[in-house]
Amino acid sequence: MSTTAVERPAQKGATEARRRRVVGLIALVVVLVAAGAVSLAVGARALSPTEVWHGLSAAPESDQRLTEIRLIVQTVRVPRTVLAIVAGIALGVGGALIQGYTRNPIADTGLLGVNSGASFAVVSVIAVFGFTDPFQYVWFAFLGAAAAGVVVFGLASIGRGAGNPLTLALAGQGVTVFLAAMTTAVSLTDRESLNALRFWNAGSVDGVGFGIIWPVTVFIAVGLLLALITLPTLNLLNLGDDVARGLGVNIAMSRTVGIVAVTLLAGAATAACGPIAFLGLMVAHVARYLTGPDYRWLVPYAGLLGAVVLLVCDIVGRLVVRPGELDAGVVVSLLGAPFFAVLVWRGKFRNA
């Protein structure tokens, strides 16, 4: 009887916590849908809900006014909204995963060198081949990001500190600095590369069509699947390698699959819209504050928060300097840095 009396409050507390987390996920989905609807309506030309609906459903042979609205909605705002959601989910999940696998609360997807790898690939192919169309160099950006991730993980897997999260961080920092120097060297010797890098490095979800979005989404979907597979073992890894090994976790395999997932997520998102600094770092901390350290809840929260934040920042960028625009990556940094500083000041972060 005494054991039952002790267990009941614990079970009740666990049930209430699970209910709150489910309600939170539903609320985030509702906010994301609302932000998506707003994203379709705002811009250089504001559209009413009725016009947005006509833009989504109008046939090509409709009158000129509806044809213009259809072009705005279907060829500009729908791809932009979809890319913001997809890239936001990828960067949010990637940020939560990399903090978990490195046990470093200030780790970001850039720790694997994916941003610098993609940047170096972009300037290199523009300088060598003269590519100017994003559809041409986006695939090289993804390959550069993936190659950088492989090199970082390879360096962290050899030597006496193999598999150590600190070794991974040091390898990532070294590769990032080297590739950043190479990117600067190439871009300063080629004007076209410098101009493309200046635009691409801002981080934007505008001007990318479904011809790029759909293939990128496939890579992100694979990364999300790998992430979901590794979530139970990620919880055990954060108890310490010795404890996880004692519970039967194959540490090397789990960490390898997790890093591959992060590379796919961050590499694909970065290739499509450029480096969006700070997003994964910020939303992972917010998700941890809302859900606690359980990665089975933390990762879905981080993904949805990433999509909401990137989409809202893109909307804000369209409104604050009308009729011009601020790139989403710029707005994320402008709004995220003070928010991050406030959280640090208030001591709200918990260890990863």
Computed over every residue of the chain, the mean pLDDT equals 84
- Is the pLDDT assigned to residue 7 strictly greater than 80? no
Task: Give the model's pLDDT for residue 171.
Answer: 84
Are the C-beta atoms of 122 and 103 separated by less than 8 Å?
A: no
Top mean pLDDT of 41-55, 127-141, 191-205 is at 41-55
Alpha-carbon gap, residue 229 to 287, rounded angstroms: 19
DSSP one-letter code for 248: T
Q: What is the pLDDT of residue 6?
A: 46
196: CB partners within 8 A, 6+ apart: 122, 123, 126, 132, 137
Two tokens at 349?
């972060």
Asked which of 128-137, 211-220, 339-348 is least confident by mean pLDDT, the reply is: 339-348
- The DSSP line for 138-174 is HHHHHHHHHHHHHHHHHHHTSSTTTT-HHHHHHHHHH
Q: What is the pLDDT of residue 42?
A: 92
Which CA distances in Å does 2 have to 5, 8, 14, 298? 5, 10, 19, 34
CA dihedral in degrees (24, 28, 30, 31; nearest 10)? Answer: 130
Contact residues for 252 (Cβ-Cβ < 8 A; gap 6+): 163
Query: From CA 208, how far away is CA 198, in angstroms rounded?
Result: 17
Q: What does DSSP assign to residue 77?
A: I
198-203 long-range Cβ contacts below 8 angstroms, 24+ apart: 200/119, 200/122, 200/134, 200/141, 200/274, 201/119, 201/274, 201/275, 202/274, 202/327, 202/329, 202/330, 203/273, 203/274, 203/275, 203/276, 203/277, 203/327, 203/328, 203/329, 203/330, 203/332
Given this model, what pLDDT does residue 1 score? 45
Domains of the chain plus CATH, in order, are 88-346 (1.10.3470.10)
Q: Are 109 and 127 in contact (CB under 8 A)?
A: no
Q: State residue 344's pLDDT score.
A: 66
d(CA 45, CA 323): 9
pLDDT at 8 over 70: no
Alpha-carbon gap, residue 228 to 220, rounded angstroms: 12
pTM over 0.75: yes
**Is pLDDT above 80 for 253?**
yes
Q: Is 292 left (phi over 0), alpha (psi -120 to 50) or beta?
A: left
DSSP for residue 352:
-
Q: What percent of the chain has pLDDT over 90?
A: 31
